[in-house]
Amino acid sequence: METSDRYIDKDAVIKRITDLKKERDAVIVAHMYQNPDVQDIADTVGDSYALSKYCASRPESTIVFCGVHFMAESAKILSPDKTVLLPERYAGCPMADMITAEDLREFKNEHPGYAAAIYINSSAAVKAEADVIVTSSNAVKIVSRMSEKNIIFGPDKNLGAYVARQCPDKNILLWNGFCPTHHKIKKEDVLNIRSQHPDALLLVHPECTPDVTELADYVGSTKGIIDFATQSDRSEFIIGTEIGVMHRLEVENRNKGKRFYLMSPSLTCPNMKRTLLESVLRSLENNEYNIEVPHDTAERAKKALDRMMELGN
Ligand code: CIZ
Ligand code: SF4
């Protein structure tokens, strides 16, 4: 149920979360695609990599990661000695599930001499098979700086196609994965909303199809979109990414007279929306759901993340 009277007493739920957080020595982090209620009680809100780094820098021994499974795994890889809790057991990412470690191993075997650049939206087991990890913020920079010319890119074929357009000297093989939420936006949706708001700039995520990104005034990660809109002297923006970002834009641009229009109401990730305030409370009460990454997998995945840091700096 998505109504505001969902909680018997929302303030009491928030108070209990705050008390338990202290008792459990926990920090709560929320991805920008989370429900506004959850974003508002988090210690910080950000993209998946920024959150994992934040968690590693914190003194608390427990991390409550409000997001999806691969994100909690990334936090665990960077904080192996901490307890990492994912409040909703089945909050997964369909795009991350479109490639397995075995798939990637096989694909690499079929294409000897290719280096695998893997999107952070992937399981720890897949990251462990990667040569380097990329985020939507740094994918173009990382791929262009890689010494290898022949590159396997996955799992997102749309981000991969965007990177390939920006790096014409690379030979990029795309895995056939996609984000079901961003992928369903059609060119007609864009033309339709543009005709309603002709003065608005169009800011879209590279997980959208090439048909859509080609029409955009700016293509970038969630943080890129927020920074662009916040720093711009324009006042109207059409936003082509998950609806949770609308809340961040409103919070960070309060009283500035800026207007944001979501490109389509279907830009809602059902997995991200599984986590409610009650989920966070239950997570703290029962210490659930504990995310573990096998030591060897975590070490190999960490190497691919470290290479991202080296190339991205
Ligand atoms: O890496 C992230 O957090 C995701 C899923 C999107 C983005 O653009 O930040
Ligand atoms: Fe995965 Fe797409 Fe949801 Fe992000 S918005 S978690 S890529 S399904």
pLDDT band, very low/low/confident/very high, at 257 (cuts 50, 70, 90): very high
221 lines ligand 2 (CB under 6 A): no
Q: Specify if 297 maps to a domain.
A: no
Q: What is the pLDDT of residues 87-107, one digit of tens each?
A: 999 999 999 999 999 999 999
Distance, in Å, from the CA atom of 23 to the CA atom of 218, rounded to the nearest integer, reads 44
pLDDT averaged over every residue in the chain: 96
Domain extent, residue 282, equals: 3-91+272-286
Residues of the chain with pLDDT > 70: what percent? 97
Cβ atoms of residues 182 and 208 within 8 Å:
yes
Same domain, 203 and 228: yes
Q: Is the pLDDT reported for residue 2 higher than 80?
A: no
Instruction: Answer whether the bond into residue 265 is a cis peptide, omega within 30°.
Output: no
What's the confidence (pLDDT) of residue 288? Answer: 98
Residue among 119, 79, 59 nearest 292 (CA): 79
What's the confidence (pLDDT) of residue 61? Answer: 98
Q: CA distances (Å), 131 to each of 126, 170, 251, in order? A: 10, 16, 37
What atom of ligand 2 comes closest to residue 270's alpha carbon? 3
- From 178, 208, 234, give the residue that closes a domain: 178
Q: How far is the CA of 181 from the centre of ligand 2 (A)?
A: 7
Closest ligand (CA of 225): 1
Closest ligand (CA of 135): 1
Q: Specify if 173 maps to a domain.
A: yes
Distance, in Å, from the CA atom of 271 to the CA atom of 67, rounded to the nearest integer, reads 8
Which pTM was predicted?
0.95
Domain count for the chain: 3
269 lines ligand 2 (CB under 6 A): yes
pLDDT band, very low/low/confident/very high, at 7 (cuts 50, 70, 90): low
Same domain, 172 and 199: no
Average pLDDT over residues 280-296: 98
Q: How far is the CA of 274 from the centre of ligand 2 (A)?
A: 12
Q: Is the pLDDT reported for residue 1 higher than 80?
A: no
Cβ neighbours around 117 below 10 Å, total:
27
What's the confidence (pLDDT) of residue 4? Answer: 52
pLDDT band, very low/low/confident/very high, at 234 (cuts 50, 70, 90): very high
Q: What is the pLDDT of residues 136-161, one digit of tens each?
A: 999 999 999 999 999 999 999 999 99
3-state DSSP assignment of residue 214? coil
Residues listed for the chain: 313
Residues whose beta carbon lies within 6 Å of some atom of ligand 1: 31, 47-49, 120-121, 135-136, 205, 221-223
181 lines ligand 2 (CB under 6 A): yes
Helix (H) or strand (E) holding 193: helix 187-196
Q: Specify if 136 maps to a domain.
A: yes
Residues of the chain with pLDDT > 90: what percent? 96
3-state DSSP assignment of residue 59? coil
What's the confidence (pLDDT) of residue 266? Answer: 93
CATH number at residue 247: 3.40.50.10800
What's the confidence (pLDDT) of residue 313? Answer: 77
